[in-house]
């Protein structure tokens, strides 16, 4: 598992950077490990925290940190584990519970750095006894290629009409102190009503009629920061594109790095994005893209039979291998006349390290899944100067939030942490996680 990516990572670092440690040989037993509790948040949005449903609205408004109440030794029911277990089972914050889903996960975090990079190592246990390296497919139904496999919060999965298939993920949001409120409220600043799988889901018509979202050509509402709206609790009240560009130039955005067990892990990378008026990808080109042709809805690529022994898979092959479709390694252009049969399946995303470009291609990762546990090392270059990145610097202290997507789920179905501090060899003050300088 992940062998391909591992080999790729090693060769990359051997060629790429003389000053950088080979991340595959870092002795992590010497680096302190911090246990970060992650819990299932359901629909506990920025707006929900300010309603009477969350009793301490005045304290949240005045900016008191979540952990000041939610991490006290004497208040068990307010601790992440109790909250997650309660919310995931269904109730006001979870209208469509996934049967048997865990409410909580312990995330082990270690951090190191050298002259070139920061190395963030994460470990967590998956609920299933296989890793979530597969993502949705295109399936031939005898006539057409249709998406097969959806996240578990979707009605089609809960009704049994589709299987739950969605990649695992490990994400970090990073603020360098320029985002008001992030230090206290963390990821909850970005999570709002109107978003996918959240209350008051914005309709296509509402989105199309919205000046900001039509200006930035988006078809739905995603994570945003309060400062990008005239009324932070109303996604529809977007500021002008010029005002938002000013916020970006002032650094008032959070970096969002997502390691994706299918769409970035396949090529030894993590993606690179940021949250401001939407959840945006950095400039350049991501390492993944859709494999369905927009006009014909047929796949653009299929597997190279000469290299992997098959052009497509069938449902009985699920969870038996990674089934990555990698443009430069095992893909060839789709042949519509290859005698396709009902039930043939091809990955719905094509992944490529070679095609990833610019600021979107900054982050590497090495990951493996063994005995029910993911180990992921994100490799982030220090001192990035792009206008959509937070530059990590030796001595710097950052506010971070972590998320894990486990067991075929997306949107509110992830586990999240309260805001933590990450130091890169920080000398002064106390930080939750401090990256250790490598010898």
List residues binding ligand HEC (CB under 6 A).
41, 44, 49, 54-56, 59-60, 64, 66, 68-70, 78, 83, 86-87, 93, 185, 188
Q: How far is the CB of 428 from ligand HEC (least distance, A)?
A: 26
How far apart, in Å, do the first and last CA atoms of the chain sit?
29
- Dihedral angle of Cα 186, 188, 192, 198, to the nearest 10 degrees: 140
Q: CA–CA separation, 366 vs 24, rounded Å?
A: 8
DSSP H helical ranges for 29-79: 46-49, 57-61, 67-70
Q: Is the CB of 49 or the CB of 225 nearer to ligand HEC? A: 49
Q: Is the CB of 12 or the CB of 87 nearer to ligand HEC? A: 87
Q: Is the CB of 55 or the CB of 296 nearer to ligand HEC? A: 55
Q: How far is the CB of 93 from ligand HEC (least distance, A)?
A: 5
Q: How far is the CB of 127 from ligand HEC (least distance, A)?
A: 21
Name beta bridge partners: 326: 351
Q: How far is the CB of 225 from ligand HEC (least distance, A)?
A: 14
Q: How far is the CB of 120 from ligand HEC (least distance, A)?
A: 23
Q: Is the CB of 30 or the CB of 56 nearer to ligand HEC? A: 56
Q: How far is the CB of 106 from ligand HEC (least distance, A)?
A: 18
- CA distances (Å), origin 98, targets 51, 61, 131, 260, 328: 26, 32, 18, 21, 37
Q: How far is the CB of 90 from ligand HEC (least distance, A)?
A: 11
Q: Residue 304 is encoded by which pair of tokens? A: 């190279």
DSSP H helical ranges for 115-254: 155-158, 182-185, 204-208, 211-215, 241-249
Q: Which residue reads 């409120």 in tokens?
A: 181
Q: How far is the CB of 58 from ligand HEC (least distance, A)?
A: 8
Q: Is the CB of 83 or the CB of 326 nearer to ligand HEC? A: 83
Q: Residue 356 is encoded by which pair of tokens? A: 């990833």
Q: State phi, psi for 338 to the nearest 5 degrees.
A: -90, 20
């Amino acid at each position: 598992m992940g062998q391909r990516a591992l080999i790729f990572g090693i060769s990359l670092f051997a060629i790429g950077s003389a000053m950088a440690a080979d991340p595959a040989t870092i002795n992590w037993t010497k680096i302190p490990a911090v246990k970060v509790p992650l819990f299932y948040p359901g629909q506990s949005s920025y707006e929900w925290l300010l309603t009477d449903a969350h009793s301490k609205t005045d304290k949240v408004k005045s900016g008191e940190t979540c952990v000041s109440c939610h991490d006290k030794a004497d208040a068990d029911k307010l601790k992440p584990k109790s909250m997650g277990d309660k919310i995931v089972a269904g109730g006001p914050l979870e209208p469509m519970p996934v049967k048997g889903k865990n409410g909580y996960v312990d995330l082990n975090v270690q951090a190191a750095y050298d002259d070139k990079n920061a190395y963030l190592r994460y470990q967590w246990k998956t609920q299933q006894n296989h890793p979530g390296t597969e993502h949705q497919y295109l399936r031939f139904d005898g006539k057409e290629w249709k998406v097969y496999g959806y996240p578990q919060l979707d009605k089609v999965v809960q009704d049994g009409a589709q299987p739950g298939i969605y990649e695992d993920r490990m994400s970090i949001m990073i603020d360098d102190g320029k985002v008001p409120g992030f230090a206290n409220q963390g990821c909850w600043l970005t999570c709002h009503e109107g978003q996918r799988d959240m209350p008051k889901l914005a309709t296509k018509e509402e989105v199309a009629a919205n000046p900001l979202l039509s200006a930035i050509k988006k078809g739905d509402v995603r994570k945003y920061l309060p400062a990008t709206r005239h009324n932070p609790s109303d996604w529809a009240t977007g500021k002008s594109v010029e005002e938002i560009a000013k916020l970006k130039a002032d650094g008032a955005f959070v970096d969002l790095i997502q390691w994706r067990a299918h769409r970035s892990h396949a090529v030894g990378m993590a993606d690179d994005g940021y949250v401001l008026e939407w959840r945006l990808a950095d400039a350049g080109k991501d390492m993944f893209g859709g494999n369905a042709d927009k006009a014909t809805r047929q796949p653009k690529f299929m597997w190279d039979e000469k290299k992997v022994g098959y052009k497509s898979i069938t449902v009985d092959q699920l969870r038996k291998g990674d089934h990555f479709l990698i443009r430069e390694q095992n893909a060839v252009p789709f042949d519509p006349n290859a005698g396709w049969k009902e039930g043939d399946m091809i990955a719905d995303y094509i992944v490529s390290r070679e095609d990833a470009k610019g600021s979107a291609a900054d982050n590497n990762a090495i990951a493996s899944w063994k005995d029910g546990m993911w180990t992921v090392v994100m490799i982030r270059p220090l001192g990035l100067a792009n206008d959509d990145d937070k530059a990590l610097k030796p001595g710097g202290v950052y506010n971070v939030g972590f998320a894990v997507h486990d067991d075929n789920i997306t949107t509110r179905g992830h586990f999240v942490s309260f805001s933590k501090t990450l130091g890169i060899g920080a000398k002064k003050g106390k930080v939750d996680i401090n990256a250790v300088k490598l010898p």
